[in-house]
Structures are given as C-alpha cells and as structure tokens.
Chains A and B, each alone.
Chain A
Amino acid sequence: MLNINNLQAKVEDKEILKGLNLEIKAGEVHAIMGPNGSGKSTLASVLAGNPGFEVSGGEALFDGKDLLDMAPEERAREGLFLAFQYPVEIPGVSNINFLKTALEEIRAHRGLPALSSKEFLKLLKEKQELVELKTSLVNRSVNEGFSGGEKKRNEILQLAMLDPKLAILDETDSGLDIDALRIVASGVNKLRSADKSFLVITHYQRLLDYIVPDFVHILYDGRIIKSGTKELALELEEKGYDWLKEDFSTQE
C-alpha cells in the first residue's frame, strides 16, 4: 500500500529526514518510535503534504501512485488520513457541517453518491459511540473548547467517518490519560481490517499494548535504523534510546 524509498525532507533548510525507507502492506499496523527530533512528526507531515515541509529527495508511492506529487486534499481523497498530534480549532465551522462536507468530497472521489442527511446522522451516531464522544461536543465548532483528550477522540471519530485506506496516527497517545487511551485504542482496533493499514507514531510503548503492531520501526536521526516486531518495542522500553545510539554508531 505504501512504499517509501530514500525519503529526504527538510524544514526551513534544516534536513530532518535523511533517507527513510518503509514498506506498509494492506492490513498491516506499523509502529514508529524514536527520540525527540528524530523526524517522526516530519514523516507524518510530509506524507500528508504539509506545505511547510520540503521534500528534497526520494519518493513515496501510495497504491502505486506518486504520493508526493499530489495536493494534500488529493491524498486525503485517495484514502490517506492523518490524526494530528495537535488538532487545530476552527471556530464557526460546526463539526457536523465539516464532517458532512468532507465525507461528500471523499465519496464523490470514489464515485459514491452523497449520503442523505438521515443516513449521515445515523453513521455519525454509530461512530460517535465508538469513541464515546458526547453529542453536545459533536454539535459544537470543530475542536472549539475541547480538552486534549476530546480532541484526540474527535480525530478518531473523523477517522471512523472518513474510512481511509491508510491512517497515520501522529502521537495520538500524547496527553491522554489511561481511560482516554483505552477509548482511542479500542476505537482504532475496531477499524482494523485486511484492507486498511495504520502507521502509529508514538513515544511510548504503552499505546502498543492496546494497539498491537505487526511491525515496529525505530527512527533515529532521520532514518529507520532498526525494524522488528512488537518485542522490539518492549526491548526499547527496557533499554532506552541510548542502547540504540550505541548500536547505530557502531554500525556507521
């Protein structure tokens, strides 16, 4: 589904990604861990098409198509979703209106007719329950006045509504208490299927107890330096990043 080859990217002339390689097949859940500054959020931003990041080399293919050549809205319509680390507030734009408009765009791209208001509200109610988000919040403006946990759950609600092929979760667990973490993870798990993939970016192993990954990758200094299964995450938790840094520098 996703093929990243030698991806290089920079922000304001500072090189962050220095040749990243990654392959994600349909149905797989991949986790990416790494110390601060390793490029985790940069990777998420570059894949989503954030104009503040410049790709300086390499390629990324999404279902065989050149992802980096597409505008961010095109990537979204093709089925790529980013659950933001810091979801922004959009006052004046109701959650419902926003979701309905976004869903219509994506469905139109897939050649599907728009849902009737009735069908839409039914779907919304269903997905709301998945993330335990109160109706009072859903009726508000996008993320306006939401707590950190509510914002993250709203991201997962959108994920559930828009039904993407590949979902990138950018440190979705940061700032969440145990209960919120459980809800978010359970929501994600219910969406797992053989034709959907997830790229879970996280600092802590804890989330991976709930969202069990098929593969774990360690990102360090702009490259993936080690890949393994979920055991790798446990090893990292135990030994810390210094272990890897030593390992990495001896490899150089």
Chain B
Amino acid sequence: MSKDENLLETLATSEYEYGFTTDIEMDYAPVGLNEDIVRFISAKKNEPEWLLEWRLKAFRQFLEMKMPDWQNFDMPEMNFQDMSYYAAPKKKVLASLDEVDPELLDTFNKLGIPLEEQKLLSGVAVDAVFDSVSVATTFRHKLAEKGVIFCSFGEAVQEHPDLVKKYLGSVVPSSDNVFAALNAAVFSDGSFAYIPPGVRCPMELSTYFRINAKNTGQFERTLLVADTGSYVSYLEGCTAPMRDENQLHAAVVELIAMENAEIKYSTVQNWYPGDKEGKGGVYNFVTKRGICKGDNAKISWTQVETGSAITWKYPSVILKGDNSSGEFYSVALTRNRQQADTGTKMIHLGKNTRSRIISKGISAGQSHNSYRGLVAIHSNAGGSRNFTQCDSLLIGDKCGAHTFPYIESKNSSSVVEHEATTSKIAEDQIFYLNQRGLDTEKAVALIVNGYASEVLDKLPMEFAVEARKLLAISLDGSVG
C-alpha cells in the first residue's frame, strides 16, 4: 500500500453515528411549490395577515430570481416542485414533558438533547426544533424574569408580533438572494430572542435542529435582537439522519445589535455529509447576517462546519455604528466528496469600525473547500481596520483548497491586512508522531486540533469540548 493510501484510508467515512429516523405521524403539505402551499403553511401556523402578505411578496420575488452561477462547487439539480414544504408532528406543543410524544422524546435523547432536569441544572435553555414545529421550550419562565424573550419563531409571531414585524427582514431582505427569498416564503420555524436594554443574558441560549421527513427541506428563520447595552451568547448545533435523497437546508439568521450591545453566535454543524461516493447528504445553503446598528456594538460569528454535502454560507456583519466590531472565526472541514464555499462579508460603514476574520479550512479525501471573503470599506468608514487570516490545510493529494478574497476599500485612512497560508499534513509529520507512540488517527487529530485551535478557543467552553471531539471523530477512519 503506498504512503498516500495509508493516510487516506484512515480518513474514510466512519459510521455516521446520528443516522436513524423517527416514524411518527407527520402532517405533510402536498409536494410542490406554489402560492397555495405558502398559504397552507401560513394557515397551519395561524399567522396574522401581515405575515402572510410578507411571505407572498417574497414568493413572487423568488419566482423572478435566477440561481447564481459564481459558486465554486457543482450545483446540484434542484427541483423545487419535488419537495414538501411543511412537516409537523400531529400532536401539538404541550405544557409539560409528560405529554410529549414519547417517541419524540426518545429522538431527542438519542441526539443528546435531554429536556429534563439535567438540562435545567446545567443552566442551558433549549429550544428544540423538530422539523417544522417547535416541540418544547424550556427555561422560558426563568429567562422571562430578566425580561429575556427566547422562544420559537412561531410563538414569537403570536406573542410578540410587534417585535417580529419591526425586525423581520431588516437585515436579510427577501430580495437578497434566491434562497433568502425561498426561505421568506416557506420558512417553517426557528428561534426568536430579544434581550432588553442593559441585560446580560444569564445563560447560553442554544437550539438544536434535525431534518427528518423525506423530501422536506428545512427552512428555519432565526431572529436575535440585543437591545442597547445587552449581551447574549447563542449556540446552534445540528445533526441530521442518513438519507438517500439530498435535503435542502436554506435557513436565514438575522442578528441585530444596538448601541453597546454584543451578540456571540456559535455554530457546530454536523449534518449528514453524504457517503464516500458523494451520494446523499444535506445541502446547507444558509444566509446569516448581523448588523451592528448602534455605536460600539459587537457581533461575532464562530462556526465549526464538518457536515453537509455542500456548505454554502457567508455569516456577515454590517458595521454601521461607529466603533462597532465584527468577528468571524471558522473551521470548515470537508472530506470524501464534500464541497464547501464559505466565508464572510464585513461591511464597514461607520467610523473606526473593526473586523477580524480567521478562517481555517481543512480538506481531505476528494473534497473541495473554498474560502470566499469580502472586506468592504465604504468612503465614510474613516479609521477602520480589518485583519484577515485564511489558512488551508490539505490532507492527502486528491483534495482542493481555494481562496477568493475580495477587498474593496474606498477610504484611505483605513487599514486592511490579509494573510494566507496553505499547508499539508506531511507523511513525515505523521511518522514522527507515530514514532512517539501516537497512532495515525491520533496524530492527525492532534495536528488538526492544533491547527484549528485559534478558532476552537472562541467557542463557549462546553461547545469547544464537543467541537474538538467532533473534529477528531470526523477525521477518524475505520479503526486501524
């Protein structure tokens, strides 16, 4: 066996440990995409007229839009008429966990989302989205004491319609891109959070997602608003079951940080990546954007992407307020035949704004990993600074790493720094570690974790541990 084969063998697909399905009564919308479907979804959710109108407007925009062609991956055939856009478990949201469908609870347990006392003690509020309907929300009352609103998007529409109406679409308008338009038309559910002025949210907010029903795309809509001087840290972790057909995940996340407010948004993504031949797997086409609306506001995105057949996302920050700052920390791992085209956009509008981009791409197998970033400094953004570091790590000789950095600077008093490195895990590095008693899997994990450290250190503690483990597991081949 040649040297390269040795290394590649250890990085083949391992059993996707979250691969299983739940069979409970589903409420499906008929397959297809048209105005009636949009109305069906809105009616199922008992939405007010203004929201239905908003959806319909977006749907009409969607019909006019074309699929982009600039992406650096093979765009799959997408037949929007071939999917059902609504799936909800028949039983409604219930007051106590005792009344929740036991099969559903079992699903959550398998995914490691204990909705019981343990979670209560660890102090993390969990809004578990199961397909299109939120099933349980814990800790709402505890957060309510501080005036923090954290609930499913659907509930927010019912109970806080003014807040939703005020901010929905203000950061990612439906016209932004074809998938944002689609999401606006058919979004299922998601999370909503509002942090009142001066409040430091007492616990990490987190949400788990899972795509289940065949042929159903997941279209979450998340909206987080941090009012003046507030702070919130939000964690998002995803898993999905093994499927033969590809599944579209076109979520939209909007973050709004007012004056002196701070939002930390962390994601660990582990959607089913497809098999060794590249068959199956989730399409993760997400639009995430935050706006630092007020002065001194701060938004930071941290992501660890290890799953999905195709990852296509650019969590961005619009730095409107003076002295505001945006950060983007990313580790994107692709292997087998996964593809990723990801990065960020930092739009400097206000004065003395700062942005920091640290992107660590890891490619293995026959995958392709692209970093695409835009740093735009507008003419009024005097005294602004950006630092970008995008690194690529190649494992084996059949994968690819690509970089597309864009810098547009219209202000001469600003400073933009860009560094990039490309490296390879060399056979002799592996052998060196072998010779010190570490097997190849451990050696690769050590090297990759060291490489990704700067980003992993940005995650909230409990997530960081999970993320490091996920990286190591993702690189695990079949044992031996």
Contact = CB atoms under 8 A, between A and B. Distances in A.
Q: Is the A/B pair a real complex?
A: yes
Interface of A: 48-52, 71-73, 75-77, 81-82, 84, 87-88, 90-94, 97-98, 101-102, 105-106, 109, 141, 158, 162
A92 to B, nearest CB: 3
Given A52-B3, A88-B426, A88-B429, A93 B435 contact: no
B447 A93 contact: yes
User: Majority SS of interface residues in chain B?
Assistant: helix
A105 B437 contact: yes
Contacts of A50: 431
A161 to B, nearest CB: 10
A206 B434 CA distance: 31
14 contacts: A48-B435, A49-B435, A52-B3, A52-B427, A73-B438, A76-B435, A84-B432, A84-B435, A87-B432, A90-B450, A93-B447, A98-B436, A101-B446, A105-B442
Given A71-B434, A98-B446, A88 B428 contact: yes
Interface string B3-29: 100100000000000000000000000
Nearest to A78: B437
B288 to A, nearest CB: 27
Given A51-B3, A101-B442, A92 B435 contact: no
Contact of A92 (B6, B439, B440, B451): B451
Contacts of A52: 3, 427
A141 B447 CA distance: 11
Contacts of A76: 434-437
A65 to B, nearest CB: 16
Given A50-B431, A97-B446, A109 B426 contact: no
A141 B450 contact: yes
Given A73-B438, A91-B451, A97-B446, 8 more contacts: A51-B431, A72-B435, A73-B439, A76-B434, A92-B447, A92-B451, A93-B447, A102-B436
Interface in B192-232: none
B478 interface: no
A162 B435 CA distance: 11
Contacts of A105: 436-438, 442
Contacts of A51: 3, 6, 427, 431
A77 B437 contact: yes
Contacts of A102: 433, 436-438
Contacts, number: 74
Contact of B432 (A71, A90, A101, A106): A90
B439 A94 contact: no
Given A51-B6, A52-B3, A101-B446, A88 B437 contact: no
Contacts of A88: 426, 428-429, 432
A109 B439 contact: no
B420 to A, nearest CB: 15
Nearest to B446: A93
B450 A72 contact: no
Contacts of A90: 429, 432-433, 447, 450
A73 B437 contact: yes
Contacts of B451: 91-92
A97 B443 CA distance: 12
B423 interface: yes
Interface in B385-439: 423, 426-429, 431-439
Task: Give me the 8 closest cross-chain CB pairs, A-B, nearest first.
Answer: A92-B450, A93-B450, A72-B434, A102-B436, A105-B437, A76-B437, A92-B451, A106-B437
Interface of B: 3, 6, 423, 426-429, 431-440, 442, 446-447, 450-451, 453
B199 to A, nearest CB: 38
Contacts of B439: 71, 73
A73 B450 contact: no
Nearest to B6: A51
Nearest to A75: B435
Q: Which of A71, A82, A88 has the most CB of B within 10 A?
A: A88
Contacts of A75: 435
A94 B450 contact: yes
B438 A101 contact: yes
Contacts of B429: 88, 90
Contacts of A97: 446, 450
Nearest to A90: B429
Nearest to B448: A92
Nearest to B360: A92
Q: Which of B3, B437, B453 has the most CB of A within 10 A?
A: B437
A72 B432 CA distance: 9
A79 to B, nearest CB: 10
Contacts of A77: 437
Nearest to B450: A92
A84 to B, nearest CB: 7
A167 to B, nearest CB: 12
A246 to B, nearest CB: 38
Contacts of B436: 76, 98, 102, 105, 158, 162
B452 to A, nearest CB: 8
Nearest to A158: B436
A109 B446 contact: no
A148 B357 CA distance: 35
A76 B442 CA distance: 14
A106 B436 CA distance: 8
B438 to A, nearest CB: 6
Contacts of A82: 435
A102 B6 CA distance: 21
Given A76-B436, A106-B437, A92 B431 contact: no
Nearest to B423: A91
B440 to A, nearest CB: 8
Contacts of B446: 93, 97-98, 101
B161 to A, nearest CB: 49
A242 to B, nearest CB: 34
Q: Which of B423, B450, B453 has the most CB of A within 10 A?
A: B450
Q: Which of B3, B423, B432, B436 has the most CB of A within 10 A?
A: B436
A241 B434 CA distance: 35
Contacts of B440: 73
Contacts of B423: 91
B434 A49 contact: yes
